[in-house]
């Protein structure tokens, strides 16, 4: 995408009051998670049994859990865990998926046919089960979760990228470039990649939400981030399983944070996509 077009998109985006608020909310969550050690005076792993199940107050802003650990500090670190897994999995799936899709789209033949059949099989396989098997094989950790979720999203990105590549390759300006001897690498760099921006961007909110949701679900069932490392999923699991009636804040605050995290990112990308589509018309 040309630099001046990107500037226009950013200018229109920042003039949108709604998206400005959404970006602000998302950035606040990101900054809070990055500065978790500075903002919170409590260690997320420190146990204070004398203060267990304390209600939110001036000492523990969001209360404490069954072991007296500060919920506020643990939520901040849980946000960090979710963001790392979400963005890392997006990077893995986007880079590999776009590369595979463009290669198949530019080189239709036996290899492309084989790859498409493999993608068909992977897309028919339940995503959650794929991530579960991968995590069980490698062990529950942030890295294994990010890799598992990222690899699981590759088929969607690859198929989208391939379809877009074939569509662009059949356009008149690409055919004209081929007639004057332009190499494939030049066509990919100048025509394919810039015009693949919007279709891939449209898929990112779903993948990001799916990544965070999958991590939370796996952690909720004890198969994701291993305790005592805080994640929004295992915090909700702990609250629902043991303390939902006596200390609902243990579940409530991580759940609300997870919802806000997913909705703000999805809304930002949706608004950004609207402005991008408007400028390209």
Helices within the chain (DSSP H only): 3-15, 17-34, 36-39, 71-106, 110-124, 127-138, 142-169, 172-179, 184-187, 193-195, 197-220, 232-238, 249-280
CATH for 203:
1.10.3720.10
Say which residue the tokens 């530019």 belong to. Answer: 106
* CA 106 to centroid of chain Cα atoms: 28
Task: Specify the pLDDT at position 2.
Answer: 47
Q: What tens digit of pLDDT does each residue of 116-130 get?
A: 999 999 888 888 888
What is the mean pLDDT of the segment spanning 79-91?
A: 92
| Tokens describing residue 172 | 């008149």
Tokens (6 digits) for 200:
């891939």
Residue range 49-69: mean pLDDT, rounded: 92
The stretch 232-255 carries a mean pLDDT of: 90
Please report, for residues 30, 176, 195, 198, 213, the alpha-carbon distance to residue 76 in angstroms, rounded to integers and kept in the order given: 9, 54, 37, 32, 17
Predicted pLDDT at 151? 92
In the chain, the number of structural domains is: 1
pLDDT at 236 over 60: yes
Count of beta carbons in the 10 Å neighbourhood of residue 129:
10
Confidence of residue 54 (pLDDT cuts 50, 70, 90): very high
Judged by DSSP in three states, 43 sits in coil
pLDDT of residue 125: 85
Question: Encoding tokens for residue 209?
Answer: 């939400």
- Candidates 80, 77, 87, 89; CA nearest to 134 is 89
The pair of three-digit structure tokens given for residue 256, joined into one six-digit string: 């609300």
Q: Which tens digits make up the pLDDT trace of 98-147?
A: 999 999 998 888 889 999 999 999 888 888 888 888 888 888 888 889 99
63 near 242, Cβ under 8 Å?
A: no
Question: Which residue range forms the structural domain that includes residue 52?
Answer: 3-280
Report the percent of the chain where pLDDT is more than 90: 36
Q: Which of 9, 1, 100, 28 is nearest to 261 (CA)?
A: 28
The per-residue pLDDT for 276 is 61
- Residues 160-192 as b/e (b if ≥16 CB within 10 A, e otherwise) read bbbebbeebbeeeebeebeeeeeeeeebbeebb
Each residue's pLDDT tens digit, 2-31? 445 556 656 666 676 777 787 888 889 999
The model carries a pTM of 0.83
pLDDT mean over 46-50: 91
pLDDT, averaged across the chain = 85
């Amino acid at each position: 995408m040309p630099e001046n077009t990107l500037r226009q998109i950013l200018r229109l985006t920042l003039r949108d009051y709604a998206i400005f608020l959404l970006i602000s909310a998302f950035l606040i969550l990101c900054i809070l998670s990055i500065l978790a050690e500075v903002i919170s005076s409590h260690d997320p792993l420190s146990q204070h049994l004398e203060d267990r199940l304390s209600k939110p107050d001036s000492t523990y802003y969001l209360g404490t859990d069954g072991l007296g650990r500060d919920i506020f500090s643990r939520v901040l670190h849980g946000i960090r865990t979710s963001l790392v897994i979400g963005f890392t999995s997006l990077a893995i799936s986007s880079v590999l998926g776009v590369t595979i899709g463009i290669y198949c789209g530019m080189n239709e033949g036996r290899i492309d046919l084989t790859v498409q059949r493999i993608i068909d099989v992977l897309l028919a396989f339940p995503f959650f089960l794929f991530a579960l098997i991968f995590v069980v094989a490698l062990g529950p950790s942030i890295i294994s979760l990010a890799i598992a979720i990222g690899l699981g999203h590759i088929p969607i990105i690859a198929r989208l990228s391939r379809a877009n590549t074939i569509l662009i390759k059949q356009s008149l300006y690409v055919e004209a470039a081929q007639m004057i001897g332009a190499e494939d690498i030049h066509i990919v760099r100048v025509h394919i990649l810039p015009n693949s921006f919007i279709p891939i961007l449209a898929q990112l909110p779903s993948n990001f939400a799916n990544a965070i949701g999958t991590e939370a679900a796996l952690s909720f069932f004890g198969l994701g981030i291993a305790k005592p490392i805080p994640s929004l999923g295992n915090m909700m699991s702990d609250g629902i399983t043991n303390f939902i009636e006596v200390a609902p804040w243990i579940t409530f605050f991580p759940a609300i944070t997870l919802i806000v995290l997913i909705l703000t990112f999805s809304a930002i990308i949706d608004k950004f996509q609207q402005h991008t589509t408007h400028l390209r018309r």
